[in-house]
Structure 1
């Protein structure tokens, strides 16, 4: 697989006062701790709308493992193979931070024939990895079954890295995975997600709002209580 590295010269700015830096850190914690999870769940609801068979399969698994009135907790996840595959495919299919977070090199580095100078900003194209046709068959299709083996057991792929890799990977990865699992399973357990009856077509799933995070356009649904 070819790796494309985008380099941007980074300029130095005077250091901010400590109080201003603290405000930035707190802001980042709130944004990173809420925006990414809520955006992922919004994409999840869209996938449930566009692929209703996945919603039915998740609900069947919930009824088998947890029950319609059981309380969802993380100990259920190892037994919920299809749900785990759905979430894994969701994070590949709609990468919520397509270019990851920007990092700066502290020394010159060589990567696959590219020389990356010291003190430049580097961007990792996670979207390209998750949509590489050399890795994924029909990457533009949403298929949780990619991550199920012949026994219908979930198989984790190291090619799905929405939280990046290495020592600078997202420090909230484990919390985010817990939140997405618990919120998604709880919603499907209690509600049937249906399209807005007043809408002429389903909400857009192949396009969205581009920024640091890739978010779906605003849409409406019906949550029918079960």
Structure 2
């Protein structure tokens, strides 16, 4: 338990909470800008089983924000590089790597294996797929999204029953929206992904107030942060 001493001395976690973390299983869909800090902090916290799903390879433009990867991993499969890095951080965690994207054909089979699903993806189609599969299987969905200097996080399909479609009910309208562009400062996914990881730990340990039925947002240019009810 010495490894986790700094968090088990917190009354909201303790040895009981650490045992809950060890027994928990979490799936991260996408291990890019958001998925990198999520995976690192959940692995460091001692999650028992972590699934990482992503069909991409490491590219040079990833390195500005995707802190799981290095120049030595260029052109390699992301989840293979990520698994190696995460196990070097904490060999006690079971890391299941899925070197392909989540699709309508495999989503239910994969998500059914995990207690919680965390959003590390970058497109509306995958988020609707995650949401609808989690609703069907009764799994909590920790949502996160970024753009430029802005990020947002919520917890869906938990006690309030709110889900991604309560935030964005018109799927066709969202899918037809023009691309907002790929510009982003590296710390935006770091901060947003860290908040997502925090919500996962709180959810597992029963600590604090979750963003269940609420949307947290931050603008890093102004450091203005808000929480609204859905």
TM-score (norm 1): 0.28
Highest CA radius of gyration, 1 or 2?
1
TM-score (norm 2): 0.28
Structure with more strand by fraction: 2
Greater length-normalized contact order (CA 8 Å, ≥ 6 residues apart): 1
